[in-house]
């Protein structure tokens, strides 16, 4: 499981002894998402060309995953269980409303 890899990595480097405050971790995730978005823009020439996956995109995607999984560890939640709950929610929305978007919940 990916979360176990992050747990082991952080533990080996003692990152888990002084966890990042949750608000700071959320900002870190947002920053990493921005870097991922920047790679999409660069690769597609700001939308003028088709997107394709580059090594830099993969590295930034990995940074996003690492940050998300570190947050899961720091707040003691199972990322896999959270994903399962989200997939169940989307499946239910699709069955009832034919869309996954939360705007249909209103």
CA atoms within 13 A on the CB side of 36: 16
Q: What is the DSSP string of 30-41?
A: HHHHHHHHHHHH
CATH classification code of 2-75: 1.10.287
Please give the pLDDT value at position 46. 95
Question: What are the extents of the domains in the chain?
Answer: 2-75, 78-106
Helix axes 55-75, 79-97, angle to 10 degrees: 100
Mean pLDDT value across residues 52-65: 97
pLDDT band, very low/low/confident/very high, at 19 (cuts 50, 70, 90):
confident
The tokens describing 35, both together, are: 């870097």
pLDDT at 81 exceeding the cut of 90: yes
Please give the pLDDT value at position 13. 85
């Amino acid at each position: 499981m990916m979360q176990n890899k992050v747990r082991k990595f952080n533990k080996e480097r003692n990152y888990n002894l002084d966890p990042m405050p949750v608000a700071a971790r959320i900002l870190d995730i947002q920053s990493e998402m921005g870097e991922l978005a920047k790679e999409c823009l660069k690769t597609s020439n700001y939308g003028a060309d088709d997107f394709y996956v580059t090594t830099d995109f993969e590295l930034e995607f990995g940074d996003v995953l690492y940050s998300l999984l570190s947050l899961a560890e720091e707040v003691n939640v199972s990322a896999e269980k959270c994903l399962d709950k989200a997939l169940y929610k989307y499946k239910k929305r699709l069955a009832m409303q034919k869309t996954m978007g939360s705007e249909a919940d209103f």
